Amino acid sequence: MGAGDWTADVDDFKRLAALAKVDFSINEKDEAPDEEEDPTLDLDAFLEDLAKAAISPDPDEFAEFVATSRDDVFEALAQDPSVADVLLAGYRLGITFGSDACMNALGAHYYLGDIFEQNFTKAKELYQMAVDHGNLQSLVNLGYIYEYGRTGKPDFQKAYECYSLAAALAPSFEAAYKLGDMYARGKAVDRDMHRALMLWERSLELSQDVVERAQPAIRIAQLLVGPECGTWGIDADPLRALKLFQDAEVGLRIDIADGQYYYKKRLREAIEGQEVARSLVEEEDSDLDF
């Protein structure tokens, strides 16, 4: 597919314009504010808001609206699967007006297969388009495509180039820990746990919340209680590792609750890692002369 295949057509415009019509009638909730609210999503109202975001003067607004309304999006899809067509039309409209956020977000949906049928080829195409429009998150996402061979054989050199360029251009916690992974695994570069640790520590510094902190935290923690500590001349630190494993558990649980079920294995590692770290801490305590 070429770039033109992602632009909105007349039907997309018509669908969104129809949904975005404003109803100026008095809302019953305004007349009776004390009436208990129905927890079920008002599909018509949500579709109207979705369409308004799509035809907003800001082409990035649609991607932002979908991201911040994630739960409502999936409830709407559960009520009516054809909502996916509206979502696609909204993304296509954003792409038509050059929204790299829409390019990246739609690529992520194809990568994950959460709304549209999983298609790594489409994801790669959209990520590359977003990169060409200056989207640095797509540069990281493109790295995943190459690292895990989503559209062919793994290409670690290209993955390394994506992660390193993203890390150089912006303070990205994700680019930093993924670059650290390349050094930890010896992919495209010589294996070097000192550099891996340095990059994971940098990722930890750049993390904005407990969810972002989870990824570098579990990597550092595993190293600090693992057998490679001594091999690489890195000081073991089970007490710090225990705290990092706990941080990782909290962040990973939030990720999984948000639908990122592929982190379940990581969560088990974080929980099991706490037991290992706690055991080592207790061993150190038993050696103290009270």
What is the rounded distance in angstroms from the CA atom of residue 193 to the CA atom of residue 170? 23
The pLDDT of residue 28 = 44
Residue whose C-alpha is closest to residue 265's, from 274, 256, 277: 256
What is the Cα–Cα distance from 132 to 127, expressed in whole angstroms? 9
The tens-digit pLDDT sequence of the chain (290 residues) is: 665 678 877 777 667 777 776 443 434 444 444 455 556 899 999 999 999 999 999 999 999 999 999 999 999 999 999 999 999 999 999 999 999 999 999 999 999 999 999 999 999 999 999 999 999 999 999 999 999 999 999 999 999 999 999 999 999 999 999 999 999 999 999 999 999 999 999 999 999 999 999 999 999 999 999 999 999 999 999 999 999 999 999 999 999 998 889 999 999 999 999 999 999 999 987 766 55
What is the pLDDT, as a whole number, of residue 289? Answer: 56
Q: Can you tell me which residue has the tokens 């949904």?
A: 19
Contact call for residues 124 and 142 (beta carbons, < 8 A): yes
**What's this model's pTM, rounded to 2 decimal places?**
0.85
Measure CA of the first residue to CA of the last residue in the chain; give whole Å.
71
Return the pLDDT at 1.
Answer: 61
- Of 101, 71, 76, the residue nearest 87 (C-alpha): 76
Helices (H), ranges, 55-99: 61-68, 70-79, 83-96
Confidence (pLDDT) at 172: 95
Looking at residue 118, the DSSP 8-state letter turns out to be -
Question: What is residue 31's predicted lDDT score, i.e. its pLDDT?
Answer: 45
